[in-house]
Chain A
Amino acid sequence: MIVRIMTEGQYDLPGAFIDELNHIDNDLVEVVADENEAEFATLLKKMLDLVRENSTPVPIDELVESDLVLPEPDITLLEAEEVFVGEGLVPG
């Protein structure tokens, strides 16, 4: 499974991790709804580290589409909210 972390690059992650990723993703939805800034940062880092630590990076000269796209490591809670409402990040 090819996973992209925005601004960071692509990783080849064993498919077995998808459940864990989904689990964290669900928690993330909740903390974004609660506007819990601290918990958001913790969960996001947990999610990205899960990918970073269990995968092999895709060589930079390889051209492959991602199955999953994860937000950039420095995304703020406010920006994540915008992603959810579909504003700001996709103009026009």
Chain B
Amino acid sequence: MGLLSRMSVVVKAKMNKIVDDAENPNETLDYAYEKQLESLKKVRENITKMVTAKRMLMSQADKAKKDIVAIDARARKAMELGREDLARMALQHKQTSLLQLEGLDSQIYDMELEQEKLTQMQQRLQAKVSTFKTKKEVIKAQYSAAQAQVRIGSALSGLSEEMGDISLAIERAEGKTEKLKAKAGAIDELAEAGVLDDFSDRSDPIGRELAQLTAAANVEDELAALRSSLPTTEKKALGDGE
């Protein structure tokens, strides 16, 4: 069986549950409508959850930005006092914070995409649920219960399919949010410990080593920049000390 047929099976497995739960035709209509409203509510709740998770990441990013500013000030101060060793340590820490910030920014971007997708799906489901509501009242008024069952059948399948699709999307989004949260927590801990090489998410050893070399080069560049920005007397003092 190809991916196409498997996908249909997956969605239909989701949707049949919604339809099969009720037997009496008129009850089916009302029951289905209630289910749809529940489903819509769930989607909204999930979007809210995602927004909350995104805010958490954003506040972490803000903190990282502030850290970076503070570290810069510390490094400069250390240089002014002639403590290049302390300045170097601070700047190494800054590289960690920069990596953390980069990771957070890309996660925030991912969350935004996910949120956008769910919002669009929610709008689609909302439109379909409204159509279903109108249709169900018309059919209930015009047809006997048995006829209504037939009339509503395809509309109900169409709607159930939409709900199957969206509930699968929510499951995926929830999984992603959980993973992101776990990752954000881990990054926080590592950043606090100032561990640069452990959290860079590079699985290949070459990329990892390059990242470390880049970070080390950045530190030296910034040190050099700090050095040249100091007033000449202090520079001289530093030069004497070497």
| Per-residue B-contact encoding for A36-74, CB less than 8 Å = 1, 0 else | 000000000000000000000000111111101111100
What distance in Å separates the Cβ of B180 from its nearest Cβ neighbour in chain A? Answer: 15
Of the candidates B3, B127, B165, B172, the one whose C-beta lies within 8 Å of that of A25 is: B3
Of the candidates B6, B7, B13, B159, the one whose C-beta lies within 8 Å of that of A63 is: B159
What distance in Å separates the Cβ of A59 from its nearest Cβ neighbour in chain B? Answer: 8
User: For the complex, is B14 an interface residue (Cβ under 8 Å from A)?
Assistant: yes
- Please measure, in the bound complex, the distance between the C-alpha atom of A71 and the C-alpha atom of B4, giving whole angstroms: 7
- A66: chain B residues at CB < 8 Å are 8, 11, 158, 161
Q: Does the CB pair B158–A84 fall under 8 Å? A: no
- A80: chain B residues at CB < 8 Å are 3
| Per-residue B-contact encoding for A64-92, CB less than 8 Å = 1, 0 else | 11101111100000011001101001110
- Please measure, in the bound complex, the distance between the C-alpha atom of A63 and the C-alpha atom of B138, giving whole angstroms: 15
- Please measure, in the bound complex, the distance between the C-alpha atom of A83 and the C-alpha atom of B13, giving whole angstroms: 12
Within 8 A of A (CB), among B156-190: 156-159, 161, 165, 168-169, 171-172
- B4: chain A residues at CB < 8 Å are 21-22, 25, 68-70
- A63: chain B residues at CB < 8 Å are 128, 131-132, 135, 154-156, 158-159
Q: Does the CB pair B127–A61 fall under 8 Å? A: yes
With both beta carbons as reference points, the residue of chain A lying nearest to B134 in the complex is identified as A61
Interface residue count on the B side (C-beta < 8 Å): 33
| Per-residue A-contact encoding for B96-119, CB less than 8 Å = 1, 0 else | 000000000000000000000100
- Give the interface size class of chain A: 20 to 34
- A9: chain B residues at CB < 8 Å are 124
Q: Does the CB pair A90–B2 fall under 8 Å? A: no
Q: Does the CB pair B131–A71 fall under 8 Å? A: no
With both beta carbons as reference points, the residue of chain A lying nearest to B173 in the complex is identified as A7
> Which B residues fall within an 8 A CB radius of A?
2-4, 6-11, 13-14, 117, 121, 123-124, 127-128, 130-132, 135, 154-159, 161, 165, 168-169, 171-172
Q: Name 23 interchain pairs, CB-CB below 8 A, sorted by A.
A: A4-B11, A4-B161, A4-B165, A6-B7, A9-B124, A22-B2, A26-B2, A60-B123, A60-B127, A61-B131, A63-B128, A63-B131, A63-B158, A65-B158, A65-B161, A66-B11, A66-B161, A69-B4, A70-B4, A71-B7, A89-B171, A90-B13, A90-B14
> Which A residues fall within an 8 A CB radius of B?
4, 6-7, 9, 21-22, 25-26, 28-29, 32, 60-66, 68-72, 79-80, 83-84, 86, 89-91
